[in-house]
């Protein structure tokens, strides 16, 4: 025979504990959603990883197409999404574009994940 413990209606209705720290604001949630969406693509994660691992955390678009195995316009599209999300900056040198990791850009995502 199985014994079932019944909870009173009052105990079942008061399950929510009070918040113990500040939560993310609506504006920050929207901003972080863009940041996470940019990271939600394997190609963009690889690009970010390659740039972060490059000397000075900077890479030329010409050095990113072969490791990714995609055309330069497609790689540039992915890099633009990473720039719009605040992970990379772009500088032009002659005919080539160089992408650099924004200092602290990954820290924001990491901090949010630590507190989640």
Measured CA to CA, the distance from residue 26 to residue 107 in angstroms comes to 20
Question: How far is residue 48 CA from its own chain's centroid?
Answer: 10
Taking all residues of the chain, what is their mean pLDDT, rounded to a whole number?
85
Cα–Cα distance, 3 to 80 (Å, whole number):
60
Look at residues 78, 47, 45 and name the one whose alpha carbon lies nearest to residue 63. 47
Write down the domain spans for the chain: 28-107
Cβ(91)–Cβ(61) under 8 Å?
A: no
The phi and psi torsions of 24 (rounded to 5 degrees) equal -70, 140
pLDDT digits (tens, 9 = 90+) for 30-46: 888 888 899 999 999 99
Proportion of the chain above pLDDT 90, given as a percent = 55
Q: What is the pTM of this model?
A: 0.74
Residue 87 in this model has a pLDDT that exceeds 90: yes
Q: What pLDDT digit, counting tens, does each position of 88-110 carry?
A: 999 999 999 999 999 988 887 77
Quickly name the fold that domain 28-107 has: Arc Repressor Mutant, subunit A (1.10.10)
């Amino acid at each position: 025979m199985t014994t079932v413990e019944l909870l009173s209606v009052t105990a079942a209705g008061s399950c929510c504990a009070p918040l113990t720290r500040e939560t993310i604001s609506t504006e920050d949630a929207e901003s972080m959603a863009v940041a996470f969406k940019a990271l939600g693509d394997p190609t963009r994660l690889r690009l970010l990883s390659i740039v972060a691992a490059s000397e000075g955390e900077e890479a030329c678009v010409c050095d990113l197409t072969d490791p990714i195995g995609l055309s330069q316009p497609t790689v540039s599209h992915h890099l633009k999404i990473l720039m719009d999300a605040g992970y990379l900056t772009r500088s032009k040198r002659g005919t080539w574009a160089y992408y650099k990791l924004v200092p602290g850009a990954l820290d924001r995502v990491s901090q949010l994940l630590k507190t989640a």
